Amino acid sequence: MLEKLEALYQQASQELDGVNTSEALKEWERAYIGRKGAVTLMLRQTGQLPPEQRADFGRRANEIKRLLTEAFAAREALIREQELARSMEEGQIDVTLPGRPVLTGGLHPATQTLREIYAIWAEMGFQVYRSRDVETDEVNFELLNIPPHHPARDMWDTFHTTMPGVILRTHTSPGQIHAMRDYGENGTLPIRVILPGMCYRYEQITARSEIQFNQVEGLAIGRNIRMTDLKGTIAEFARRMFGANRAVRFRASHFPFTEPSMEVDVQCILCGGEGCGVCKYTGWLEIMGCGMVHPVVLRNGGYDPTEWSGFAFGMGPERITMLKHGIEDIRYFWSNDLRFLEQF
């Protein structure tokens, strides 16, 4: 019996030396020193031996069980260490790799110019007043002194909706009527607002003209507002926007909703006034239309033209952006080409 025990001890020790994984180790434990393991079972048989052999056998069996349990614990620690080393090796993270860049968005160039324009007018006491993109023919044209079939309508080729008399606004000027009626409380309050927003025209798309573009309208209503106020205010805007060295000129023009009317040009930044494709070889780029608010429009807005007067203007931020950055084609603005947009 004792020999059998020694042989079992030898076998278990040898087998343990070859165990390399925690699964195999569990298997070994179950086979030898677990509750039904071979060594445990042999230890339990001590009581069946003849009395004179029991003491020796029992002592040796207990000793073997202890030795094997200790060897098992040492093996277990070794395997745990090896497995940890292996998993560190396999799941290695290279902390020296450069990080992936976090992409940040930017403001569209037209938005940047719009914000610059808002800031300049804000400094001069003008608030932003928002008006709708979808308008009635009445507000877009008729209340601005452009009756149906008037030839002036040819200046604004229009997108119509399926609802009769409802159109996409062709300019921000209809906002003047809303501002006078709502903001000016029907001719009782002075007004100083700018009205930014998208306009839509069914025109040929060229390097200078899009079918969709921003405008910033301006409206000042008060008592004794004169043409000199208009010219001085706009010249000051141009000075702040383009710098003191860029020439600005006022040209007589016609708009049905202002009288007298003018157009404002800024010297072409691309050719410095020499003449190029963008400025149509004139050396000048038109940036806005303006004039003194027509008495009919004042009346339509609820103001008494014998008591009140005012000026209005409408400018195109995309054209201004082209001027400031030397952009040759307005079509870049809405073609969503990142190579263009990322430059700003």
CB 217 within 8 A of CB 312: yes
Local structure of residue 64 (DSSP, 8 states):
H
Which of 175, 256, 301, 316 binds ligand FA5 (CB under 6 A)? It is: 316
Which of 65, 75, 169, 171 binds ligand FA5 (CB under 6 A)? It is: 171
For the record, the structure tokens of 266 come out as 């800024």
User: Of the ranges 21-29, 56-64, 240-248, 314-322, which one interacts with ligand FA5 (CB under 6 A)?
Assistant: 314-322
User: Of the ranges 4-12, 145-153, 158-166, 209-217, which one interacts with ligand FA5 (CB under 6 A)?
Assistant: 209-217
Which of 179, 312, 322, 323 binds ligand FA5 (CB under 6 A)? It is: 312
Q: Which amino acid is at 245?
A: N
User: Of the ranges 74-82, 89-97, 225-233, 306-314, which one interacts with ligand FA5 (CB under 6 A)?
Assistant: 306-314
Q: Using CA of residue 49, residue 52, residue 53, residue 55, what is the dihedral sign?
A: positive
Nearest position to ligand FA5, beta carbon = 316
Ramachandran category for residue 173: left, alpha or beta (phi over 0 → left; psi -120 to 50 → alpha):
alpha
The separation between CA 312 and the C-alpha centre of its own chain, rounded to angstroms, equals 33
For the record, the structure tokens of 157 come out as 């080729």
CB 179 within 8 A of CB 131: yes
Each residue 116-155 as x (binds ligand FA5 by CB under 6 A) or -, in order, gives ----------------------------------------
| Binding status of residue 255 toward ligand FA5 by CB under 6 A | yes
Q: How far is it, in rounded angstroms, from Cα 16 to Cα 67? A: 12
Count of residues interacting with ligand FA5 (CB under 6 A): 26
For the record, the structure tokens of 58 come out as 């029992």
Question: Which residues are near ligand FA5 by CB under 6 A?
Answer: 171, 173, 201, 203, 209-210, 213, 215, 217, 255, 258, 261, 286-291, 312-316, 318-319, 330
